[in-house]
């Protein structure tokens, strides 16, 4: 078989692999071996799946494929984060006929590694403080393309010995995945959840649901669908405003799903023990960072059950906003704590290589000035 006649393996569930091996006349347990090899062992070529007999490996090599993104550039930040600029090839057999480029960010820290993945190429939501919005929506990503953004950086960094769990270290790092790259995950719900079921499957990628966070601009029907999923990532809401008037301007999606409706969906969102709904609040200097804003945010949070607020100082880019002053940030934080709202100040990683929140816009200009490996 050639080209688009090849069956794509990446993104297939265990049940789908079982159907595939059954059609090949192979025993069912071969599906579990392929599933574990791809997702748990990150064997991204059939030839490396040593648990399979040679004849089956050869047949899979001629009839199937595992499509990985093509990494165009790799920008390494001073803080150790890496922004990958990846090309995603089209593939009719995977249901997508358009090529696209996306960004994925890897952030290592002591005993932990976090991968920030894109769920769409570009985004249609039009948040005014986000560079991705300027791309518009290019296309939805497939489940395989979303999973590839986790597998590839983990494998790349393990091979470079950067991740704590690199081969031979004897350590298994905690892997966190955040759906906070390009795109609105809840506007690509089916592919995102298909990918998440594999990522969270303890026979698959084995990532704990406690370590995966889906961040949304506030797509209420998507939040309600997510709430009904038996296994799901944690929920984060990109809030960024203290009133409808302010949010209508900063995030026009608010006109469709205003704060009252959004917060009601958050209040109802099921939470496991010690689980919170997180509200992210990007502080834009002189726009949404006053003590009055902080008091209004505290009021919005008051009746929602277990919530916490992450305060993120604006990351400078090509947009006409300013960073908050250290004083306004500290005062905002202090007011939330005083009102009994758990609040944390988070500084984005990778600002120097345009890898931080709101900075993802396929930026490869000036790459000569950026440290590029590979």
Interface with ligand SF4 (CB under 6 A): 123, 125-127, 130, 132-133, 182-184, 217, 238
- E-state strands within the chain: 7-8, 64-65, 70-76, 82-88, 100-109, 112-116, 120-122, 137-140, 174-179, 212-216, 234-238, 277-283, 307-313, 343-345
| CB 329, min distance to ligand SF4, A | 20
Long-range contacts of range 224-227, CB-CB < 8 Å, 24 or more positions apart?
Answer: 224/265, 224/268, 225/186, 225/189, 226/186, 226/189, 226/193, 226/269, 227/265, 227/268, 227/269, 227/270
Instruction: Report how far residue 55's alpha carbon sits from residue 227's, in angstroms, rounded to the nearest whole number.
Output: 44
Instruction: Report how far residue 309's alpha carbon sits from residue 345's, in angstroms, rounded to the nearest whole number.
Output: 9
- Let me know if 103 is a catalytic residue: yes
What is the sign, positive or negative, of the torsion defined by CA atoms of 201, 206, 208, 212? negative
| CB 166, min distance to ligand SF4, A | 31
For the beta carbon of residue 256, count every other beta carbon within 10 angstroms. Answer: 11
* Active-site position among 18, 26, 103, 145: 103
- The structure tokens listed for 309 are 């607020």
| CB 261, min distance to ligand SF4, A | 17
| CB 254, min distance to ligand SF4, A | 11
- Let me know if 357 is a catalytic residue: yes
Phi then psi for residue 113, to 5 deg, are: -140, 135
Nearer Cβ to ligand SF4 (173/183): 183
Nearer Cβ to ligand SF4 (102/163): 102
| CB 236, min distance to ligand SF4, A | 11
Nearer Cβ to ligand SF4 (156/280): 280
* Active-site position among 116, 130, 266, 357: 357
Nearer Cβ to ligand SF4 (127/294): 127
Nearer Cβ to ligand SF4 (127/177): 127
User: If you count them, how many residues does the chain have?
Assistant: 374
> Annotated catalytic sites, by residue?
103, 357
């Amino acid at each position: 078989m050639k080209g688009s006649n090849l069956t794509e393996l990446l993104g297939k569930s265990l049940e789908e692999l079982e159907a595939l091996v059954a059609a090949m006349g192979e025993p069912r347990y071969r599906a579990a071996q392929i599933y574990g090899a791809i997702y748990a062992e990150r064997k991204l070529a059939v030839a490396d799946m040593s648990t399979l007999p040679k004849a089956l490996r050869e047949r899979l090599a001629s009839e199937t494929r595992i499509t990985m993104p093509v990494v165009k550039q790799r920008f390494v930040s001073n803080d150790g984060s890496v922004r990958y600029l990846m090309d995603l090839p089209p593939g009719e057999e995977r249901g997508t006929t358009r090529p696209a480029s996306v960004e994925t960010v890897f952030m290592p820290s002591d005993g932990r590694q976090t991968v920030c993945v894109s769920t769409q190429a570009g985004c249609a939501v039009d948040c005014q403080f986000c560079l991705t919005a300027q791309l518009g929506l290019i296309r939805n990503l497939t489940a395989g393309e979303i999973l590839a953004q986790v597998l590839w950086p983990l494998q790349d960094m393990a091979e470079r010995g950067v991740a704590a769990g690199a081969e031979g270290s004897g350590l298994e790092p905690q892997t966190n995945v955040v759906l906070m790259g390009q795109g609105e995950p809840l506007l690509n719900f089916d592919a995102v959840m298909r990918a998440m079921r594999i990522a969270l499957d303890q026979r698959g990628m084995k990532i704990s649901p406690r370590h995966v966070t889906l961040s949304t601009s506030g797509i209420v029907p998507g939040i309600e669908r997510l709430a009904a999923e038996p296994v799901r990532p944690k929920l984060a809401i990109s809030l960024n405003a203290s009133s409808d008037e302010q949010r209508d301007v900063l995030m026009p999606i608010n006109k469709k799903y205003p704060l009252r409706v959004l917060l009601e969906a958050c209040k109802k969102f099921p939470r496991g023990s010690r689980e919170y709904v997180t509200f992210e609040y990007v502080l834009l200097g002189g726009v949404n960072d006053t003590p009055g804003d902080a008091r209004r945010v505290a009021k919005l949070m008051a009746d929602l059950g277990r919530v916490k607020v992450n305060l993120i100082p604006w990351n400078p880019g090509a947009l006409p906003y300013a960073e908050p002053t250290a004083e306004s940030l500290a005062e905002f934080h202090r007011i939330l704590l005083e009102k009994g709202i758990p609040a944390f100040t988070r500084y984005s990683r990778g600002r120097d290589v345009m890898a931080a929140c709101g900075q993802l816009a396929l930026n490869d200009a000036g790459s000569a000035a950026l440290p590029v490996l590979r």
